[in-house]
Amino acid sequence: MRLAVLGAGAWGAALAISFAAHHRVVLWTRDAAQRNALRATRTSRYLPQVPLPAGVELADTVAEAIREAELVLVVTPTGGLRETATAVAATGRRVPLLWACKGFESATNSLPHEVVAAALGAGAAPVGALSGPSFALEVARGLPTALTLASADVPFARDTARALHHSRLRVYYADDVIGVEVGAAVKNVMAIATGISDGLGLGLNARAALVTRGLAEITRLGVAMGGEHDTFMGLTGMGDLILTCTGDLSRNRKVGLGLGAGQPLETVLGSLGHVAEGVHTAREVDLRARSLGVDMPITRAVCAVLFEGLSARAAVEQLLARDPKPEN
């Protein structure tokens, strides 16, 4: 299959590397300096540990990247999804498209599938979300990983999952796009919360409680938005949540660790070198939860720490002071 990967950050580079052994891959990034560096060094500055295979081509424009593509993968931060999907639509090519970003669009409080639908318009080719518990470095190194490809077009999801599936990257398919997207987005907020707990030295019991209650929050919101309950027990719910809340490669967990250690948010973000989607997503999740009347106390506490000047320790104390209630 001929694949166009639009976005050459850590995740875009990792997917290009992973798929290059089985498909023809063309990689594009909007940053001309980064494109030139990739051509010269064959190494992404976001993923310097694993070089691009010789077979990965670099394109200067979106139109060039997708000219012969049978499938487009948009692998930008959520904030860049609309612009990139619009650029695909502007080429006039009707080509199937997947997105691999995780979050809500800040300007519109929209999920990625809503952004893509608006950008591509009526009559577009099949589209879907590619998500799951996956650190870019491990995927690039060929370590075993499992993802879910979700699309309202089930035959497209099934056939594309089979085409992308290989021995080191298992790809399952599903039709619950909303559930997959909500799980992918909100787990980043919960990773900030567990990082704060770990940064404060509150122990493994506290971490387990936050992960478990975080899953309950994610599920409540996802079901209220139209997702299926069982989705949140799978790879893009529980699986992605566990990985992001406990793995040392998690950017969002690192944000929480820094906040728990008393560092200002600006300092923490400046040291990352990558986008931490959970910071931008937290406010959008809080807004959507309030509009739907969904109780999300962990999300609310994270927002208070990120944007309202509440200390990490005070946020934890507020959560602990909540009245007991049934576990559901």
Q: What is the pLDDT of residue 197?
A: 96
Q: What is the pLDDT of residue 274?
A: 72
Residue 302 is inside which H or E element, if any? helix 297-307
Catalytic (active site) residue 102: no
CATH of 2-175, one of 3.40.50.2300, 3.90.1150.10, 3.90.1170.50, 3.40.50.720: 3.40.50.720
C-alpha to C-alpha distance for 186 and 176, rounded to whole angstroms? 16
Ranges under pLDDT 70 in the chain: none
C-alpha to C-alpha distance for 6 and 61, rounded to whole angstroms? 10
User: Model-level pTM?
Assistant: 0.95
Taking the domain 185-320, which CATH number applies? 1.10.1040.10
Give the chain's end-to-end CA distance (angstroms, integer): 45
Q: What angle do helix axes 297-307 and 177-199 make, rounded to 10 degrees?
A: 60
Q: What is the pLDDT of residue 276?
A: 81
273 dihedral zone (left: phi>0; alpha: psi -120 to 50; beta): left
Q: What is the pLDDT of residue 146?
A: 98
Q: What is the pLDDT of residue 275?
A: 72
Asked if residues 179 and 236 have their Cβ atoms less than 8 Å apart, the reply is yes
- At 143, the amino acid letter reads L
Q: Output Rg (C-alpha) for the chain, integer angstroms.
A: 19
Q: What is the pLDDT of residue 141?
A: 97
Question: Residues of CATH 3.40.50.720 domain(s) within the chain?
Answer: 2-175
C-alpha to C-alpha distance for 246 and 291, rounded to whole angstroms? 30
Q: What is the pLDDT of residue 123?
A: 85
Question: Residues of CATH 1.10.1040.10 domain(s) within the chain?
Answer: 185-320
H helix runs in 128-273, sequence order: 136-140, 154-164, 177-199, 204-224, 240-246, 251-260, 265-272
Q: What is the pLDDT of residue 113?
A: 98
Asked if residues 72 and 98 have their Cβ atoms less than 8 Å apart, the reply is yes
Catalytic residue from among 102, 187, 254, 325: 187
